[in-house]
Structure 1
Amino acid sequence: MQLIFAGGLLIAAGGSTDTRAQTTAAPATEQIQAVTTRRYDIPAGPLNTVLTRFSTESGIFLVGANDLAQGKNSPGVQGSFSIQGALDVLLTGTGLETQRNAQGQYVLQPVANTVGTLPLMTVSTSADTLKQGTAEEGYRVSNISGIGLWGERSLRDTPYSMSVVTSDLIENVNAQDMGQIFKMNPLTQEPNIQNVTGVPIVTIRGFQSINPVYDGIPMASSAGSAVSVIEIDRVEILSGTSGFLYGGGRVGGAINYVTKNSTDVPLRRLTFGNYGGTQFYGHADIGGKFDERGRFGYRANLLYQGGDTAIGEPVNQKVANIVLDSHITDTLYADIKYTYNDYRKEATQPSFFMVNRTSIDTSKRYSPKWASSDIESHKAYTSLRWDPTKYFTLRSASFYQHTNMRTDSISLNETGNRTFTPSLFNETNNKHENYGGYIYLDTRFSTFAVDHKLTLGYSSAFYEYFVQENGVVVRSGEKDLPLNKLKNIPEPDWGIFGNKPMLPSYVDRYDNILIGDSVTFNDRWSAMVGLNYGTTSNKLSNIYGNSHYEKSALTPTVSLLYKPIEEITTYISYMEALEKGLIVGNTYANRGAVFPPLVSKQYEVGLKYDINPNLLLSTALFRIEKANQYSDLAMPIPTYVRDGLQVHNGVELVLTGKITDNLTIMGGGTLMDISVEKSNNPALEGKKPANAASRMGKIYAEYALPWIEGLSLTGGVYYTGEKYADAANTDKIPSYTLYDIGARYTTRVLDKALTVRLNIINLTGKNYWQNPYYLGVPRTVAFSASMMF
C-alpha cells in the first residue's frame, strides 16, 4: 500500500485501510491534542477539500482511501470540538467515520452498515441533494459564500442581518426573474424589473441598493448588468449598510448573486415549462467532473424562451452559462465562468407620472409593440483560492461584462379625466461596460489565547457608459389620449443615426483598500473589526456635460458577538457607508464646489438562533443615519448645502427552514420608523422618504402531504405597506397584499427523477403598484417539468 501525503492529509492509495505497515507511534503531544478542544470554522464543501483543510488546521494525519471521500460533500464544522468530535460533525451524512488505530492515527472508513455501497460519484439521479439549501433541508443554509473581505463563514455567526435564497427555491416557484424572489423575501420590497436590464434595483431598509454584487465582486453600476435565474446558485441578501464590505453606495443593503459551479456527481437535467401566457421555455442543466479524482469540473446551463407574457408582451431570450473549475492541487482552486444573454421584450409597460392610481388595470397592456428593450450581454468571471499553509489563504476574483442595448420606451403624464400625454424615448446603440475585482490575503495567528484571522485586501469596480452621438432622442406624442388608445401610438421617426462613433459619456469608479480582523477570544466571545479607505469617482462628458469628481474617506466597522449557548449568536455592530458627493452646478452661489463623500452610519443589534439544524430564526434592531444634500432656496441665488439627516429606525425578523418534517416556511417582516429630520423646506421635515414602505410582512410555505408521497402544496402571502411617491407625501401609494398558490410533485419515471411544478402568481389579480412609476405583476400561471436523464 502506498501512502500519499497531500496538504496534511495522509491518504492510503489503492483503497486499503490496513495500517499494519505503519509503525510509528503517536507522540504524546498528539494524544493530548486528541482530547483538547479548539475552535473550527470550516464551511461546507467537497469532502476531500474539507478534510484537507481540517487536517491542516488540526495538525493531524488522517489515513484512508481516497475513493471513499471522492464525490462526497461535507457539512463542514463550526464551533469548539475535540478532534474526534469535529471529525464526527464534518463526516455527518457521508456514510463514513474515523477510528483510531493502535498507532494513534485516525483512519477513514465506511460506517459498518454502509460497507459495499457505491461512492456517490456513480449516482446520477439527484446531484442537488448534495448541496445546501435544498427543499429537503427547508431551503436553510449553514454557511455564506463570503461577505466582503470576510470570506466564507457560518451564517449564524455573521453579525449582519442576512437572508439566503437558493436555486432550489428559485426553481420551485417557477421564478422567471428575481422580481418574484424579492417579492417573497421579508427583507426586500418588490422591485420593478420589466424595463431595460432585468437587474432589480432592490429597496432594503428604505434605501435603494443600486449596485449588484456578483460572486462577492462589487459592481459600480447596475446599468447593463443583465442577470438570468438559470446562472444563479444562490442570492445572499445583506440587509443594512455595507460600505465597509463592498465600497461606495449600498446604504440599505447589498445583493450578492452567487453563480453556479460544477457538481460533485454527474448532473443531467432537462426542464420544460411556461412562465405565463405563451412564454414556453426549455432549460438544460448539465454538470459533473471530467476525471475520476474529481479535480476538474464543468457546468453548463442553456435556456431558450419565447412567446407572450400574460398581458401579451412578446419575449425572446437565449442564455448560455458555462463553468469550468479545477482543484489544481490540494491547496489551489481556480475557475472560469462565461454567460451570454440575448434578451428582447416588446410592448413593455410604460412608466406613469402624475396618475390617478385607481384607474390602471395590471391585467392589461398599455404600450405598442415598438416599445421594447434589446439586450445582448457577455459576462466573464474568474476566481482563484490558494491555501499554501494553515496560516495563509490568498483569494482573488475578477469580472467583466460588456452589454449592447437599445431601448424604446414611453412615459405617460395624466392630463385629467383619465387621459394621458405620452413622451417617447429612444436610446440607440448604447454600450455598457462593467469591470470588478478583488484580492484578499488571510493570515491566521494567535496572541496568547486569542485567535486572529487578519485580512488585507483591495477591491475595485468600474463602470463606463457609451452612447452614439445624438443617440438619445425624445419625441412628444399626441395629447390627451385615453387608456385604450395608448397601445396604438405609432412609432415616431427617430432620425438616421448611421455609423456615428460611440462616445464615452458617464464613468463611475470605486476603489477600496481594506483591513479586517476576525478575533476569537473564546467559545463565547468574538469580534470583527475593520477599516476601508474608499475612493469614489465620477466623470461626465458629452450629453451629460463635462465634470469630474474624486474623493476619499475612511469607513470603519466593528462588531462584537456573544454566544450564550452553541445554538444562539447575539451581536452588536456598527458600520459606515460611502456615497459620492457632487460638484455643485452653475445655478448656485457656490458653483463648482466639490462636496466630500457622504458617509452614512448604521447601528445594529441582532440575534440568530438555530432552533433545529434546518430552522434558523434571525432578528435585528437597527438605526441608519444618512446625510442630506439640498438647495437652501436663498434669494436671489441659492446655495447648495449639506445638512440634516434622513433617519431609519426599524426591526426585522426572518424565519427560514423546516418547522416539522413536512412543513417548510420562509417568512418574517420589517417594521420601520423612517423620516427626514431636516430639510431646506421645513414643511418636509418629519415626512417619509419616497418609495419606502414602513411595514412588510411575508410568508411562503410548503407542506408535504404525508398521505401522498412526493406531493407538496405551496403558497405565500406577501404584504407591503403604503409608501409615498413624492417628498411632500401628497401622493400615497396604497398598501397591497398578494397571494400565490402552487403544488409540486416528485416521482420516478423509467427510474429517473421527475419533478412537476405549478404556480399561480397574484392569485386574486390584485391591481397594485411596484413603485411610484410602474404597475405590478398581473395574475400569472406558470408550470414546469424537470427530469433527470
Structure 2
Amino acid sequence: MQPRVSITLCCVVLGIVIHSVPAATVIAADHHSDQIQTRNTTIHYDIPAGSLIDALSRFARQSGVAISIKADQLKGLQTPGLTGSYSIETGFATLLAGSGYQIRKTDAGYVLQRAPIITGQTLPMMTISTAAASLKQGTAEEGYRVSNISGIGLWGERSLRDTPYSISVVPSDLIENVNAQNMGQIFKMNPLTQEPNIQNFTGVPFVTIRGFQSANPIYDGIPMAAGNGSAVSVIEIDRVEILSGTSGFLYGGGRVGGAINYVTKSPTDIPLRRLTFGNYGGTQFYGHADVGGKFDERGRFGYRANLLYQSGDTAIGEPVTQKVANIVLDGHLTDTLYADVKYTYNDYRKEATQPTFNNVRNRTGIDTSKRYSPKWASNDVESHKTYTSLRWDPSKYFTLRSAFFYQNTHMRASRIQLNEQVEKTFTQVLTDTANEKHENYGGYIYLDTRFSTFTINHKLTVGYSSTVWDYLMSDDCCIRQNGTSSLSLNELKNIPEPNWGGAIGNEPKLPVWTYRYNNILIGDNITFNDQWSAMIGFNYGTTVTKAFRSFGDIDYEKSALTPTVSLMYKPIETVTTYVSYMEALEQGTIVGSTYANYGEALPPLVSKQYEAGLKYDINPNLLLSTALFRIEKANQYSNNAAPIPTYVQDGLHVHNGVELILTGKVTDNLTIIGGGTLMDIGVEKSNNPAIEGNKPTNAASRMGKIYAEYALPWVPGLSLTGGIYYTGEKYADAANTDKIPSYTLYDIGTRYTTRVLDKALTVRLNVINLTGKNYWQEATYLGVPRTVAFSVSTMF
C-alpha cells in the first residue's frame, strides 16, 4: 500500500507547524485569517504561478477552508496562479483548470478528486498527459494565448488581462512552429512591432514600437543599459513579453515606445527529452537538443539544458556557424525559498554580411535575393551570460524577490558601408572593429507587502534596480578606410580585404565608455473591490555616462522622478478597461565639438504617455486588446545659429495612435494572431520651422498583420499556417525627402504531428517572403529574401 501523510497547517507567529498522521494530506484553514470566506462570498487573492500544491495551500489558508489531497495526486503539476476576487468554488476551479482534477464539498471541507473524462473528440494516435498539458501556457493547442505575464518592472507576476498596459506575449511554441532562426521573424509577425534588422549582427534586435526604437533589451525582468553585446538565441527563450508603450517607471532609462522582455527557459516538472533537426534556409542545417526534468522524487530540484549547433549558408550565400549551450538549475531550497541559476554560451560567426546603404537614390533598384559583400565582411560574437534569481515567501504578507545578470561578450565586425553615386554606383567605407568587449551587469531587489485598509487591499512594493554597460577596446581597435573607387553592386563582392594592421589580436584593456541606470522604486497595487483597482508608483531614476581615452573625458550624471498611475474598471468579469499615465527618462545629449555649447550635458529628457485601453477575454483561449495612446517626447537638434550653432532641447515629437491585437483560438480548429497599429506622428513644436510636421525616421504610421493556423478536421494532426504582414511607408531622413516604400509580405507553411514508435513526432515547413518581395527593413538595411525552412522534432 502506498504511504499517505497528513499535513495540518496553522499559523504560529510567522511559522507553520506540520503534523504527520496516517490519512490523506489535509491542507487546513488558517483560522487566524481575517478573510475567512463563506461558500458564496469572495475575497481578493494574489497567488503566483508555480507548483499547484503550493498554490492550493495558499488558497486554503487565505480562504479559511480545508482540502484533502492524496500525497501523489498533484506531483509535478503547475498552475498559472490566481489574481483577483473569487468565491471558494470559483477559486479552486480556476487553480485546477487543465489539471484533470476537481474538488468535492464534504462535511469536513473539500476533497480533491479526478475530473470525469469528457469524450467527443479524440485525436488518433495522440496521447496528451495531464502533467504536460499544465506544464506551460501559450501552447499551440491553446492558440498561443497566455493568461499571465512573468512580471513587469517591479510589479510581480499577474494576469495579462488585468495589467493596465498594452502587452503581447510570444510563447516558445510559436517561435518553434514558424522555424524562427532569430527574433526578426517574430517581430515581423507581431502587429505592434516593426520588423527589425538583424542581418549584419547577431544579438538583440532594435525594435521600433509606437514609432520609437527600443534598443535596450530586458532579460527575465532585468533591464540592460545598452543593446550592444546582448546576444540572444531563440533556443534559450521561453517567451517574449512585448510592452507597447512608455516604460520609464518600470525599467528606468530609455524605452520611450516600448520594452522587450526575454523570459528564458526554466526546468520542467515532467521529464522532457526532445531532439530537433532542421534547416533555417539555404544550407543552414542545425541540430537542437532540449532536455529537462527533476533530480529528486519530490520534485524540489530541477534542470534544463538546450544545445544547438548550426552550420551552412543562408538563402543568399552568407556562411553562418553557431554554437549555443544553455544550462539551467533550480530548487525549492525550503517550502518558502526558491532559487535558480542559468548560464548561456553563444558562439556565432557570419561571413559575407550584406553592406549597409547610405544616401540611397533609387530604393526600387536593389534585389534582396542577391549577396553584395565579399566573404571577409563578417561578424564574430562570443558571449557568456549568467543569471540567478531568488524568491522568498516567509508568510502570506511578505515576498522578497531578487535577481542578478552578467554578460561578457567579445565581438569583431568587418563591415562595408555604401554611399550611392550617380548611375547606380557606390563608394565604400570599410570598417574593422577588432576584439571589442562588452560587459553588461544588471540586478534588482523588490519587497512585496500585502495588507488591507478597511475593505481596500494593497500590495505595496519597494525596491532598487541597477544596470551597467561597459565598452572596452584595445588601442587602434577601430580602423576605417575608404574604398579605392566607385563600383557597381555586382562588383562589390570582388573588393579585396584591407590590411587591418596591428588591431587584430589585441585584447581589450580598459573601458572607453560606460552607461549606468539606477532606479529607486515604490508602487502600490490597490484593489478597491471586484470591479475597481489602481496601480500607482514612482521611480527616482539616475542616468550616468562616462567616457575615457579616445572618446574624450565625459562624466555625466542626471536624475529625474518618473511617476505612473493606472485605474482599472471591470464592467464584467471577462472585460478590463483602463486608463494610465507613464513617463520615461532618457539621457540628455553630451554636446559635441562643432557646437557653441561644446561639452554641455543637456538635462534628461522626460517623455510622457497617456493611454486608454480595453482587454476582453472572448473565450478562455481568445484575447482581444486595444489601446488609444499619446506620447510626447522632447526634441534635441541644432538651432543652426550663425556663425556657430548651439545644440538645444526644444519642442516635441508627438505620436498619437490606436492599436489592436487579437490572439487565440477563434474556433476549435482556427488560431489567429492579428491586428494593427495606426498612428499620426510628427514634430509638433520646433524652433526649426523646416521640420515641423515631418515624420520621424524609420517609423511607419500604419501596420496591419495577421497570422493564422487551421487544423484540418479530416486529417488529424495536420495544420496549415500562413501570414500576411503590411508595413506602411516611412522616411529615411529628418527632412522627409527619402521615402522608404510600404510593403506586404506573405508567409505560408504546414505542420504535422503524429506518433512514431510511440514517440511524438512533429514536422514543420515554412516559406518566408513567399513572393520574393524586394523591400527595405529600414533606411540602411535590405529585407529578408525568400527563404524555405523546415524541421523535424521527436521525443526520445
State the TM bucket, normalised to the shorter chain.
over 0.9
1:285 and 1:392 map into 2 onto residues whose CA distance is 35
**Cα pair distance change 1:785/1:124, threshold 3 Å:** farther
Written as runs of structure 1 = structure 2, the 5 A alignment for 1:717-736 is: 717-736=724-743
Q: Check whether the contact 2:37–2:43 (CA below 8 A) recurs between aligned residues.
A: no
**Cα pair distance change 1:14/1:259, threshold 3 Å:** farther
Q: Does 1:463 align with 2:469?
A: yes
Q: Does 1:106 align with 2:113?
A: no
Q: Post-superposition shift, 1:358?
A: 1.2
Partner of 1:138: 143
SS at match of 2:699: coil
Partner of 1:576: 583
Q: Check whether the contact 1:157–1:569 (CA below 8 A) recurs between aligned residues.
A: yes
TM-score by length of 2: 0.94
1:601 and 1:700 map into 2 onto residues whose CA distance is 32
Q: Which moved more, 1:68-77 or 1:2-11?
A: 2-11
Q: Check whether the contact 2:243–2:260 (CA below 8 A) recurs between aligned residues.
A: yes
Q: Does 1:556 align with 2:540?
A: no
**Cα pair distance change 1:386/1:18, threshold 3 Å:** closer
Partner of 1:262: 267
SS at match of 2:714: coil
Partner of 2:791: 784
Which of the numbers 645, 651, 655 marks the counterpart of 1:638? 645
**Cα pair distance change 1:29/1:537, threshold 3 Å:** closer
Q: Check whether the contact 2:435–2:507 (CA below 8 A) recurs between aligned residues.
A: no
TM-score by length of 1: 0.95
Q: Check whether the contact 1:14–1:65 (CA below 8 A) recurs between aligned residues.
A: no
Partner of 1:603: 610
Q: Post-superposition shift, 1:680?
A: 3.8
SS at match of 2:6: strand
Q: Check whether the contact 1:56–1:389 (CA below 8 A) recurs between aligned residues.
A: no
Which of the numbers 755, 761, 767 marks the counterpart of 2:774? 767
Q: Post-superposition shift, 1:24?
A: 12
Which of the numbers 2, 7, 32 marks the counterpart of 1:4? 7
Partner of 1:372: 378
**Cα pair distance change 1:407/1:380, threshold 3 Å:** same
Written as runs of structure 1 = structure 2, the 5 A alignment for 1:625-704 is: 625-704=632-711
Q: Does 1:422 align with 2:444?
A: no
SS at match of 1:149: coil
Q: Post-superposition shift, 1:519?
A: 0.4
Q: Which moved more, 1:475-484 or 1:490-499?
A: 490-499
Q: Post-superposition shift, 1:323?
A: 0.5
Which of the numbers 412, 415, 425 marks the counterpart of 1:409? 415
1:132 and 1:555 map into 2 onto residues whose CA distance is 33
2:751 and 2:339 map into 1 onto residues whose CA distance is 37
Q: Does 1:511 align with 2:518?
A: yes
SS at match of 1:329: coil
Partner of 1:118: none
Which of the numbers 203, 208, 213 marks the counterpart of 1:208? 213
Q: Check whether the contact 1:214–1:257 (CA below 8 A) recurs between aligned residues.
A: yes
Match of 2:142, as an amino acid? Answer: E
Which of the numbers 432, 442, 448 marks the counterpart of 2:438? 432
Q: Check whether the contact 2:665–2:672 (CA below 8 A) recurs between aligned residues.
A: yes
Q: Check whether the contact 2:591–2:600 (CA below 8 A) recurs between aligned residues.
A: yes
Which of the numbers 456, 460, 477 marks the counterpart of 1:454? 460
Cα RMSD after superposing both structures: 2.3
Partner of 2:349: 344
Q: Check whether the contact 1:529–1:557 (CA below 8 A) recurs between aligned residues.
A: yes
Q: Check whether the contact 2:29–2:66 (CA below 8 A) recurs between aligned residues.
A: no
Identity of aligned residues (%): 73
Partner of 1:17: 24
Q: Check whether the contact 2:10–2:31 (CA below 8 A) recurs between aligned residues.
A: no
Q: Check whether the contact 2:696–2:734 (CA below 8 A) recurs between aligned residues.
A: yes
Q: Check whether the contact 1:662–1:705 (CA below 8 A) recurs between aligned residues.
A: yes
Partner of 2:123: none
SS at match of 2:436: strand
1:473 and 1:642 map into 2 onto residues whose CA distance is 33
2:139 and 2:447 map into 1 onto residues whose CA distance is 32
Q: Post-superposition shift, 1:662?
A: 0.2
Q: Check whether the contact 1:197–1:224 (CA below 8 A) recurs between aligned residues.
A: no
Which of the numbers 43, 49, 58 marks the counterpart of 1:38? 43
**Cα pair distance change 1:29/1:261, threshold 3 Å:** closer
Q: Does 1:751 align with 2:751?
A: no
Q: Does 1:149 align with 2:161?
A: no
Q: Post-superposition shift, 1:594?
A: 2.6
Q: Does 1:533 align with 2:533?
A: no
Q: Does 1:614 align with 2:621?
A: yes
Q: Post-superposition shift, 1:614?
A: 0.2
Q: Post-superposition shift, 1:66?
A: 2.6
Q: Post-superposition shift, 1:29?
A: 9.1
Q: Post-superposition shift, 1:501?
A: 5.4
Q: Which moved more, 1:89-98 or 1:584-593?
A: 584-593
2:305 and 2:369 map into 1 onto residues whose CA distance is 36
Q: Check whether the contact 1:584–1:640 (CA below 8 A) recurs between aligned residues.
A: yes
**Cα pair distance change 1:467/1:750, threshold 3 Å:** same
**Cα pair distance change 1:18/1:375, threshold 3 Å:** closer
Q: Check whether the contact 1:10–1:62 (CA below 8 A) recurs between aligned residues.
A: no
2:286 and 2:24 map into 1 onto residues whose CA distance is 50
Segments of structure 1 that go 5 or more residues without pairing to the other structure are: 115-121
Q: Post-superposition shift, 1:428?
A: 0.5
SS at match of 1:170: helix
Q: How many residues align structurally?
A: 779
**Cα pair distance change 1:32/1:179, threshold 3 Å:** closer
2:794 and 2:418 map into 1 onto residues whose CA distance is 45
1:368 and 1:269 map into 2 onto residues whose CA distance is 38
Q: Which moved more, 1:71-80 or 1:128-137?
A: 71-80
Q: Post-superposition shift, 1:719?
A: 0.1
2:534 and 2:722 map into 1 onto residues whose CA distance is 40
Match of 1:384, as an amino acid? Answer: L
